[in-house]
Each structure stands twice: as C-alpha cells, then as structure tokens.
Homo-oligomer: A and B are copies of this chain.
Amino acid sequence: MPEVNRAAATSVVASHVVTGDEAGTVWTPGEVVWADGVIQYVGPPARGPVGRRIEMGEGVVFPGFVNGHGHAAMSLLRGFADDSRLMPWLTEHIWPIENRLTPEDVEVGTLLAAAEMLHAGVVGFADMYYFPGAVVRAAETSGLRAMVGRGLAGGAGAQAAVEEAVALAAELAGRGGRVAGWLAPHAPYTVEPPLAAMIAEAAQRHGLAIHIHLAESEEEGQQVRDRAGVSPIGWADEVGLLTGRTVVAHGVYLTEPDIARLARSGAAVIHCPTSNLKLGNGVAPVIALERAGVTVGLGTDGPASTNRLDPFQEMRLAAWLQKSATGDPAAFSARDALRLATRGSARALGWDSGVLAVGHWADLAVASWWAPHVVPHADPLSTLVYATTPGDVRYTVVGGQVVVDDGVITTFDEGAVLRESMNRARALTPS
C-alpha cells in the first residue's frame, strides 16, 4: 500500500475471510485493509500500521450484500394483511394505504428498511417506489448505496414522471454520491406501449439504467401474450426496454428464446426466491440463465410481502430451490448462492462491490461465528450461506465508512426510526 495514508486506513482481522472471488478464495485467518473507500489488502493477517484495527476473533469478513430488487418503504406495511390472495391483498389492503402515503412516510419506511439491511450486512439496494426524493433522502442519510426510481405506470402524468426521473438521475449523477437514479417502468401489464417507448428513448438518450418487473407470474405471461402476442421478455425487447443496463426483477417464467434474448441484450435478472415462493410463483431458471451468460443477482422484494429483508435467507432459499427443482443437491452450491447475492447483484447494478479484492470498493461486512447455530464451522462458505444470520453481523462497511460499528448504526438514530415507524404504521393501518 505505497501511496495510502496508513493512519487513515482501517483493518479487520478475523478467523475467516471469504473473498467471494471467482476462485472461491478463503483466508483462514485473514485480514482486510481499506483506505480512501477502496480495498488495499486482502490476505493472511499482516498487521501493518493502520488507524484502526477491528479484531473479530472467531468470525468472518465477507463482501457486503447488494439487494438487487425491492420496495424499501413498504417496511411500514410489514405483515399487514398477510396470507391473502394477491388481488384482494392489493386492492383491499395495500393500494388504499399507499394512496394515503406521504413523502415523510416513505422516508421513514425507507430508513426502517435501511436499518434492517445494514444490520444484515447489506451495502446497497435497488428500489422502485413512490416519492423518489424521499427515498433518496433516506438512502443518503443511511450511508447505503442505492439505485432509486419512481415506479412508472399508467396513464395521466406519465410523461411528467419520466421527465422527473430523468432530472433526478441527472441531479444525483452531478452530486457524485452513493445514490443514483434510474428509470423504473413497473411491469408489462401496467405500462402501455407509448409510455414504454418514451422510457426506452429517455434511457438511451441519457444513458440511464432501467428497472422493471418481468416474467414474475404465469398470469402476467398469459396477459402479455393475449395482448401483444409475445412473452413479457419479448415485449420488453420489442419496445426497447431490454438494454445492457436493464435490471429485470424476477424472471421466473422464461422460455429458451427468452433466455437467449436476455443474454443477447446484456440485461441482468434479479432472483427473488422468498417472494416467488410465498406468492406461489414458481422457481426461476437461475442455472440456465447463468449458463447462457446472463448476470443473475438476488433481491428481497418488498417487505410487505416477504416480511424481512434478509439476504442470508434469500441465499439459502436460492440454493435450496435450485436443488429442489433439479432434484440434485449438488446442482447449486453455497458458493453459487453467495455469488448471486454479492458479485451478481453488484454487476447487475453496475457497482464495483461484491468481492474482497485490492482496488475494489470497500463494501464489506463482518459477522461473529461464536454462537451455537454457527459452531463448528468446518466449511466457511457453507457456514456463511446456510448458518449465518443477520443477528451475527457486527460491522457493515460501505465505501470504507463503518456504518454498522459493533452492532450499532453510526449514521442515524435507529431508535427514533423504530418509534416513528410504529407511530406512522398505526396511523396508516386500520386497528
């Protein structure tokens, strides 16, 4: 580290460093050093001079998770009207409440989600919701990275919404922080062709990324086929929404030609196993997608339906569902699941996180491995993916900033957010 100010460097030493690199490198024990927001050293403990050294003992340093798809502010509606069928859930419960949401609700709900994600080792998230300005404020307060965009649909005011999204993205790009804007057309069944064309054109002109729900349910596929004569992926491709910077949420019901189109376009897919399982939406063909060269990441979807924003649960489910769907316990491993949650999601969002390697962003997390559910830890990758929980995470570092420090969030008052969330949820939901 010749050019680094060592007094400004931070380091963590632990019994295990899971680098998350292509080769599956693990250091036992290991040290990671970062400075100026970038990783400077990964390897066996060298214990050179640093400004601060964190000694974890029995524990693991790993690349921070990237949550590739969600609606963070829906944390305020957590567990509200669970166990309902989709349409009554939306029309009778969720939409009437969402109609009453204020920007302040969205800001508090997003901070609540940010607290949950930070405690789980998440370093950044992808978002699609209302009041993007409020989401940006919460994301910036939290210290997390974020891709933010208002869900675009309909109807009246759609053109203005696209223009606002373009303006927000430009403003955020100018600011140069951890939060960026993108264009988030909701889904093929809520976006008419003229709006789709407008979004595609704006994305191309301004070089913006696109985030869209595609091929999530069988009904959606049927509806799009009835209306447009093509699959959801085919529709998106034809209207120009499938670009090298498109991030497709879900991607469950895919034909071979769909997968080939995705691969050709360079679009990425975010797998949301909990959401798909809970809503009875089948199992995404993750293995086939990756084999075809499509980047696949992992996402929690919104907490109103999936209840928790837990990347460990998503990794476990991703592995188990592929094993179960193929009938082969060796078909998808802990290492594969970790790749989705880290490098996969990061690549989908165009971020330089997801791996502990010199020169990459210092986006990482540290968990304790000293509890009866993670002892012994014969296989570090297996222990990280199948046994570790958010409750084990002690440190989360974003761009070199220690945002969770020995279990405490350093960027905002978590207790105040919990209290405010309780109050706002009570006011929003019928008692």
Contact = CB atoms under 8 A, between A and B. Distances in A.
Interface of A: 75-86, 89, 112-113, 115-116, 119, 274, 277-280, 282, 307-310, 313, 319-321, 323-324, 326-330, 332-334, 370-373, 375-379, 382-383, 386-387, 389-391, 414, 417-418, 421-422, 425-426, 429
Contacts of A324: 277-278, 280, 282
Contacts of A282: 324
A26 to B, nearest CB: 13
A372 B390 CA distance: 11
A387 B83 contact: no
Given A78-B387, A112-B375, A386-B307, A280 B422 contact: no
Contacts of A112: 372, 375
Contacts of A422: 375-376
Contact of A382 (B82, B373, B414): B82
Contact of A418 (B280, B320, B370): B370
Given A280-B329, A329-B84, A308 B379 contact: no
B372 A320 contact: no
User: Most B CB atoms within 10 A — which of A79, A330, A379?
Assistant: A79
Contacts of A330: 83-85
Given A83-B334, A329-B83, A116 B280 contact: no
A87 to B, nearest CB: 10
Contact of A328 (B82, B85, B116, B332): B85
Contacts of A429: 376, 378
Contact of A278 (B310, B323, B377): B323
B329 A373 contact: no
Contacts of A391: 389-391
A119 B260 CA distance: 48
A378 B326 contact: no
Nearest to A88: B330
Given A79-B387, A280-B326, A376-B425, 18 more contacts: A75-B372, A78-B387, A83-B319, A83-B382, A84-B330, A112-B375, A115-B372, A116-B371, A119-B371, A277-B323, A278-B319, A278-B324, A278-B329, A280-B323, A307-B386, A376-B429, A378-B425, A389-B390
A216 to B, nearest CB: 14
Given A320-B278, A324-B280, A378 B329 contact: no
A73 to B, nearest CB: 13
Contact of A79 (B78, B313, B372, B378): B378
Nearest to A117: B372
B321 A277 contact: yes
A308 B387 contact: yes
Contacts of A383: 78-79
Nearest to A336: B83
Nearest to A423: B376
A116 B373 contact: yes
Nearest to A429: B378
A302 to B, nearest CB: 13
Contacts of A389: 308, 389-391
A376 B78 contact: yes
A56 B11 CA distance: 38
A139 to B, nearest CB: 15
B329 A279 contact: yes
Contacts of A390: 373, 389, 391
Contacts of A319: 83, 278
A373 B308 contact: yes
Q: 3 closest pairs, A vs B, by CB?
A: A391-B391, A376-B425, A115-B372
Contacts of A307: 382, 386-387
8 contacts: A79-B379, A83-B334, A112-B372, A113-B372, A277-B320, A280-B329, A375-B422, A378-B425
